[in-house]
């Protein structure tokens, strides 16, 4: 067992049980019965204390024969589980952008509260989920204007806008053109 010079065994057990991400990178814990090692912030079930061993580095844990946890991915250099939530949100939106989505529906599918999702998404992307959906829809509309002969109204509904006025407003805000001007001047 390798014990970190700064923390006692019992302190590291408490940190791991608390899933405290402020200690990520300072040490890693491994579970003898599973052969897996984790970050202190891993949300996996807390193992029995007698089955835990600690390591200062990923390399130490691997040399001892442990493999990285698939959940917390301790071998990834800059793992941030919040980015996974953001990426899951983006992927969900990209799969469902044509649908009339609410923040509550998106959050339910990601598994977090709407308030937390909105705050986190804006913190990491500088956009709200709604703005992200709108930008995605406008980008899809631009593509359709460039590559098809569909009518403006057909494109509006094809990319998921619920009414023409919101489509025009979002399109002009993002491109500085109305859809007709865009098609006429830039295609």
What local confidence, expressed as pLDDT, does residue 105 receive?
Answer: 95
The total number of residues written for the chain in this structure = 187
What local confidence, expressed as pLDDT, does residue 1 receive?
Answer: 45
Q: Active-site residue numbers?
A: 38
Indicate if 94 and 160 belong to the same structural domain: yes
Indicate if 173 and 84 belong to the same structural domain: yes
Domain membership flag for residue 150: yes
Q: Which residues of the chain have pLDDT under 70?
A: 1-7, 22, 77-79, 187
Tokens of residue 61, six digits = 């844990």
> Domain range holding 112?
80-187
Measured at the CA of 75, the angle between CA 70 and CA 80, to 5 degrees, comes to 75
The candidate with the shortest Cα–Cα distance to 156, out of 174, 176, 134, is: 134
What local confidence, expressed as pLDDT, does residue 6 receive?
Answer: 62
Indicate if 47 and 86 belong to the same structural domain: no
**CB neighbours of residue 140 within 10 Å:** 17
What local confidence, expressed as pLDDT, does residue 160 receive?
Answer: 95
E strand spans, the chain = 28-31, 36-38, 52-55, 67-68
The candidate with the shortest Cα–Cα distance to 142, out of 94, 183, 95, is: 183
Tell me how many domains the chain contains: 2
What local confidence, expressed as pLDDT, does residue 2 receive?
Answer: 47
What local confidence, expressed as pLDDT, does residue 3 receive?
Answer: 46
Indicate if 185 and 115 belong to the same structural domain: yes
**Burial level of 8, CB count in 10 A (0-12/13-18/19+)?**
exposed
**CB neighbours of residue 44 within 10 Å:** 15
| Model confidence pLDDT, tens digit, residues 35-75 | 999 988 888 888 888 999 999 888 999 999 999 998 888 88
């Amino acid at each position: 067992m390798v014990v970190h010079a700064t923390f006692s065994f019992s302190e590291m057990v408490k940190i791991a049980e608390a899933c405290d991400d402020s200690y990520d990178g300072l040490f890693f814990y491994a579970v003898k019965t599973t052969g897996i090692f984790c970050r202190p912030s891993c949300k996996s079930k807390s193992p029995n204390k007698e089955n835990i061993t600690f390591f200062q580095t990923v390399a130490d844990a691997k040399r001892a024969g442990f493999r990285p946890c698939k959940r917390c991915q301790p071998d990834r250099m800059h793992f941030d589980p919040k980015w996974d939530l953001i990426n899951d949100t983006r992927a969900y939106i990209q799969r469902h952008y044509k649908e009339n989505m609410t923040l509550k529906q998106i959050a339910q599918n990601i598994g977090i509260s709407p308030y937390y999702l909105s705050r986190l998404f804006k913190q990491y992307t500088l956009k709200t989920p709604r703005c992200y959906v709108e930008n995605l829809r406008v980008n899809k509309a631009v593509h359709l204007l460039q590559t098809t002969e569909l009518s403006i109204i057909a494109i509006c509904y094809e990319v998921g806008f619920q009414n023409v006025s919101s489509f025009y407003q979002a399109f002009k805000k993002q491109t500085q053109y109305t859809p007709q001007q865009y098609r006429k001047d830039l295609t």
